[in-house]
Structure 1
Amino acid sequence: MSQLERGRQTPTLEKLDAIATAIGIHPLSLVIYAYSCGQTDSETAEVQKRVGDELARLRMYDSEVS
């Protein structure tokens, strides 16, 4: 953990999942939090909206392919 904090290691998706599970949150919440550090609440809300919009577009694409 200390190597992650100091930027010496980059976590894998599995490690992010384990960290999020250990603190009782969804892994995406952890990623959004990491990206939003130092941002205002409105900037964070904008990122959350963008992610929601992008997920909706991906779902539409997925249903078109199936």
Structure 2
Amino acid sequence: MGIGIIKTATSRRASPGQAVLYELEVVNTGAIELTGIVVSDPLLGVKKPRWPACNRTSA
């Protein structure tokens, strides 16, 4: 079984506060028919980016 997912922003630029729309393309890359596939995006509806904590104090 193989699934390829491509997530692309519909715009290359966005002003602060402007919504960015994404397109998801799901491709069956395997040799058998797939059914019942569900794709979810954990960032769907996120209003603020979630950046990992950084403890670095120097470069």
- The interval holding the TM-score normalised by the smaller chain is under 0.3
* TM-score normalised according to structure 1 size: 0.22
Structure having the larger proportion of residues in strand:
2
Structure having the larger proportion of residues in helix:
1
Larger radius of gyration: 2
Greater relative CO (CA pairs within 8 A, separation 6+): 2
* TM-score normalised according to structure 2 size: 0.23
